[in-house]
Structure 1
Amino acid sequence: MIMVAKNIFSRLFDQESAKVEKQLQQKLIITMVGDVNAGKSSTINRILNREVAEVGASPGKTTSISEYDYGDGVVLADTPGLNDVVTSNSAVTQAFYQSSDMILFFLNAAGTVFSEVEDKALKIVAAENPNIIIVLNKIDASDDVPTQIAFIKEKTNNSYPVIPVSSRTGENINQLETEMLNLATANKKDLVLAKKFKSRSSVANKWIVAASASAGGVGVTPIPFADSLALSALQISLVLKLANLYEYSITKKNLQEMMLPLITTTVGRTLAGSIAKIVPGVGTLVGGAINGGVAASITAAIGYSFKTIFEKEWKLDASTIQSVFYDFLKKEKKIKK
């Protein structure tokens, strides 16, 4: 049985590793649209892990798209000024809009919010690519942000997320990161983007919560063979993404040695069968039903355990992961020894 478990684990590891590698080979294009005083550069600098070149120029001087290769597949693009977008340069930029993974449409909360020119520009952009996030920047200089947000949503028929931020103070930058990550996830490029965020911990938490929710959905009914494979693959994928996010080297052999013993760490005679179903590599071998809460809890514990080790740069081995894993299970108070 152990040999069968190892073979299954090996196959799932190869499958999920290939998916991660494929994602890392892709290019993610973030296009920024807005006036030169909308704070595009300062906002991006708040999000990403280092200063980027100043994007933008004096009104009328930016007449073509400026691309900045940020490395590891991330490309930042600044478009011509809004007046140029709605006039002579729109034809130049429309094709680029189509190839973008996301478009950050900047508005200045300290100025005239959603002017006629901005309205026209947004419609031109949206006609080519609906993956738009409206960034209402400089809210620290505005006296009535809620009214501004309501006005923008009304004018756009609530078609796009409107994120109020301050690139100066950092207020709500995490909300903008979440929306950007959502769009990147839809394009299966979330890992490419996440590796560039300053706040990797918050990204890791989002992944763990999402994986836990998915695991709980699988676990609400008796799990047949195929669903058990899917759950195991989900957990392996989570660990591999976390390892890449934190730039931690992890091999198939290492992960197998760490994951297979988890079933013995949480033994509990009444839970042995359920736990066996959801530990990667072992989970595919045992029949019976599993509670959705158990599946979610253990998946979360797996994720948070590896996240903790990666962040603290502890030694990555079976003994350490088992200790941290069980601590998380106790904190959750969902599974007791």
Structure 2
Amino acid sequence: MSLADKLDTTQIESNLAQEMNSFMKNLDKPNILLAGPTGCGKSTLCNLVFGREICKVGCGTPVTRGINKITDPDIPVTVFDSEGYETGADFGDGGQDSSQNYYGIITGFLDSQHDAGHPVDVVWYCVSAPSERITDADFKVIRAFQDRKIPVALILTQIDVATEETCETLKRISISELGENFRENIFESSIDYLNIPVPAGIKELHEWTLRQLPESRKESFIISCNKNFDQKFEQCLNYTKIAVAAAATASVSPVPFSDAAIITPIQIGLISKILTVWNLNQLEKLAGCVALDTILPSIGKSIAGNLIKMLPGFGSFAGAVINAGVSSSITYGLGYALSKACKEIHRHVLDGSNIDLNEVFNSQFANAVFEYAKQYKKDNYGNK
């Protein structure tokens, strides 16, 4: 019986679980503030952008009067949800207390977060399009963000129950008040997100937000969002490139004859990141199946089987070695094939359709790893 056939993944599963937990724990979380009048659809917008129910009724921990902090151990982002103010109370009328208090709550929160070393990275300011109004109170709060150099997006929400003329009027008023350059910061969203997979403006808001975030926090935002397939795949390719470079510079090593050693620490790290990006670390919660029990044996057997193909004499004599070319090539093949497989699984999970992991991680997966590895080795190492 070959090493590929008798692979015991118990230790590998333990190592991978530790690596995934460590990876999530050390991610730099972005801080996003939801702002705007009461009832303007802030929570709905948040759930739309992330493609999952982050903001739930009654969720969050109060951090100050009027602002709740929303966190989830499986989602590397921190959302601050403000309660808003009643739109009937504008700064220019006799009932200005509500909006004036809101302005004080927001500015006080921004300054306290900054002083504590946890500044707000991005603000999503929501205004209900069917309300047909954006007030001086809104503009004053938005300018407070601008004065503090905090990127702020204005989102016209609930556009599916507003006229196009109303939306255009609100945009025109906003640009007149905030300047022509602010045009690029205005987006739209629909309340009927269940029947509109990618509402107009949500994709653009996601991309805008990603551009505004500090480099160290972009990775977390990509992981937190569910429907950004292209960005997730690109992030996985970046992880793969880093792992390949590490494998290429690693010293020549003997062929492993223990189950736990068949997947190297470099590859364990790569696998953990790819699974996390595609939210497969939560697959048991999302789809009711245990991912690692199916995925790991297939990955381990694939690596062992491909070592046999790429190393003449592997398994037949002691002292065979895995050189940098073979190690980096198999790492590349693994990263690319796993990224594609996880993308397919993630798509099925979001669609609510059944997915048989055994069908995804079958002999075709092992063949894909080999073909990608073989091509990489040919392109980068020739016949070495």
CA distance in structure 1 between the aligned counterparts of 2:26 and 2:290, rounded to whole angstroms: 17
Instruction: Give 2:37's aligned amino acid.
Output: D
Counterpart residue number, 1:171: 200
Give the Å deviation of 1:179.
5.3
TM alignment of 1:241-260, pairs within 5 A: 241=277, 242-247=279-284, 249=290, 257-260=297-300
TM-score in terms of structure 2 length:
0.54
* Aligned mates of 1:15, 1:215 — CA distance in 2: 20
- Listed as ranges, the matches of 1:10-159 within 5 Å are 13=16, 16-22=19-25, 30-36=32-38, 38-44=40-46, 46=48, 47-49=51-53, 52-53=56-57, 64-67=65-68, 77-81=81-85, 83=91, 87-97=100-110, 98=113, 100=120, 102-109=122-129, 111=132, 116-127=136-147, 130=150, 132-140=152-160, 141-143=163-165, 148=171, 151=175, 155=179, 157=181
C-alpha offsets along residues 132-184 of structure 1, whole Å, 9 cap, x if unaligned?
44323344522475994894897274597543322346433344455567759
Which residues of structure 2 form unaligned runs of 5+?
A: 4-8, 92-96, 252-263, 312-320, 377-384
Amino acid at match of 2:280: A
Report the equivalent of 2:256.
none
Summarize the Cα distance change of 1:187–1:303 in structure 2 as closer, same or farther, 3 Å threshold: closer
* Residues 89 and 13 of structure 1: CA distance in aligned 2, closer, same or farther (over 3 Å): same
Q: Residues 236, 126 of structure 1: CA spacing in aligned structure 2 closer, same or farther, 3 A cutoff?
A: same
- Name the residue aligned to 1:276: none
Q: Which moved more, 1:148-157 or 1:305-314?
A: 148-157
Q: 1:305 pairs with 332, 335, 341, which one?
A: 341
The percentage of counterpart residues that share the same residue type is 13
Once residues 212 and 315 of structure 1 are traced to their aligned partners in structure 2, the CA distance between those partners, rounded to angstroms, is: 22
Alignment of 1:285-304 (within 5 A): 285-288=322-325, 298-304=334-340
SS at 1:43 equivalent: helix
Task: Give yes or no for contact 2:36–2:125 (8 Å, CA) kept in 1.
Answer: yes
Q: Residue type matched to 2:103 in 1?
A: S
Extract unaligned runs of 5+ from structure 1: 56-62, 195-199, 274-283
The amino acid across from 1:136 in the alignment is L
Distance 2:368 2:98 in 1: 52
Distance in 1 separating the partners of 2:182 and 2:231:
25
Question: C-alpha separation between the residues in 1 aligned to 2:246 and 2:145?
Answer: 45
- Look up the SS of the partner of 1:130 in the other structure: coil
C-alpha deviation, 1:91, in angstroms:
3.5
Deviation digits for residues 184-236 of structure 1 (CA, Å, limit 9, x no counterpart): 97176448844xxxxx4x2465323321144347758993129x976762333
Distance 1:129 1:145, change over 3 A: same
CA–CA separation in structure 1 for the residues paired with 2:164 and 2:183: 23
Q: Label 1:145 to 1:22 Cα distance change in 2 as closer, same or farther (>3 A).
A: same
- Which residue matches 1:314? 356
